Structure 1
């Protein structure tokens, strides 16, 4: 898969610690074509997000400090082998629909690894409603949210959006990584409650979770049909090789039926 495209503009120069940035080499930060996402150009290129909480890491990720016009800015390396969303960006996805200031409903938040990067991307003006069913992962997620005030952790089952309807406002985008056989239905239910008309969805589909006996391509096609039946219109689909096997990300738009007068 191709490298992410060069963003326009200079970006800051700085020193980075850790792999690809060893020995105080000069690192140049360039904007990626997805707003709120950046590329660190060094000995090896890396996908990064601007750290919402400078000086703090979430899961042991590398951090890079750069100086830009006298101001120090810290970025966090976003590993595509640990994040389906980062893998989709590295794979060349056209749009993730999470610009700075947007509101995202994240289903299947786990311990908050990718959620923390989405928090960086949407920035202080944005919001991430992070839903996770597992209480063990939920504890980690709550700790991440203590430092990141734009994350609202919700320890609930995404199959039952009515249980958290008082906590979640209307959102611009739903991101789902739930790895459940009925994931299309889960996304649809949440879209009907929380996704604005014309809002977008980004779904990570793990073929073996739905049908381990079928070819992944057939599973992806069947899931797309289920989404279409629920007014979720897929616009783009890509596999996540080499970062994940038998995974695809589907991106699309939500258009609920127009009410008849």
Structure 2
């Protein structure tokens, strides 16, 4: 089992070891010892950590989160990371995200399209430590490549690739191989793992900017 980033700890909940972070609850998750349970079944990054993938996160990183939705996962990220820029395309989830950010001074919601980094290039700082990506759209690898401009040297990419968003009928392994090939133009892929049983037909990817 890989080491967890500082700020992410395991706690026993109903006899089961669960990931937790410190912060106010966001999505009805249970709390224990003043910490909130990080539900891997509702979070791709949580699943990557639960499955023992080496995310290379240490805690305190500056983060660009692509596909923040209503804030389920990015709220946990903001609990242990540094400045966290949360990009979401749909206005309704962004309203929820603004509420989540109210108690998290390092979380910055952005109503923007992750496929068009120019929309937030004037807001997001450069030289970031990490991109966390969970976007359900065709061309997920291209999204990651375009946003690499915000990463510093050796910056990390932690991506959850949804096969059905690329092609609803193709074999997921074929989709994932295409994604790996596209990403390799910009990133060195360090580790990949399927995210079952938490998320069907998803691939977790840890990569570093070339």
Smaller-chain TM-score bracket = over 0.9
Find the residue that maps to 1:197 and give its secondary structure: strand
State TM-score, norm by structure 1: 0.77
**Per-residue deviation, 1:160:** 1.2
Residue 35 of structure 2 corresponds to: 75
**Per-residue deviation, 1:225:** 0.2
Q: Which has the larger radius of gyration?
A: 1
Contact 2:5 2:59 in 1 (8 A): no
**Per-residue deviation, 1:187:** 1.1
**Per-residue deviation, 1:96:** 4.5
Residue 228 of structure 1 corresponds to: 184
Residue 136 of structure 2 corresponds to: 179
- How many Å separate the matches in 2 of 1:96 and 1:140? 29
| CA displacement 1:137-159 (0-9 Å, x = unmatched) | 11001111111111010001111
Q: Structure 2 regions of 5+ residues with no counterpart? A: none
**Per-residue deviation, 1:172:** 0.3
Find the residue that maps to 1:35 and give its secondary structure: coil
Find the residue that maps to 1:119 and give its secondary structure: helix
**Per-residue deviation, 1:234:** 0.9
Find the residue that maps to 2:160 and give its secondary structure: strand
| Correspondences of 1:75-114 after superposition (within 5 Å) | 75-97=35-57, 99-114=58-73
Runs of 4+ in 1 over 2 A off after TM superposition: 32-36
| CA displacement 1:175-203 (0-9 Å, x = unmatched) | 100011111111111112x1112111011
The higher relative CO (CA closer than 8 Å, separation ≥ 6) is in 2
**Per-residue deviation, 1:36:** 2.2
More off after superposition, 106-115 vs 179-188: 179-188
Residue 71 of structure 1 corresponds to: none
Residue 238 of structure 1 corresponds to: 193
Find the residue that maps to 1:208 and give its secondary structure: helix
Contact 2:55 2:158 in 1 (8 A): no
- Gap change, CA 1:137 and 1:96, over 3 Å in 2: farther
- Gap change, CA 1:218 and 1:80, over 3 Å in 2: same
Number of paired residues?
Answer: 208
Asked if 1:59 corresponds to 2:34, the answer is no
- How many Å separate the matches in 2 of 1:153 and 1:134? 12
Residue 208 of structure 2 corresponds to: 253
Contact 2:12 2:18 in 1 (8 A): yes
RMSD: 1.3
- How many Å separate the matches in 2 of 1:76 and 1:151? 17
Find the residue that maps to 1:117 and give its secondary structure: helix
Residue 121 of structure 2 corresponds to: 165
Residue 23 of structure 1 corresponds to: none
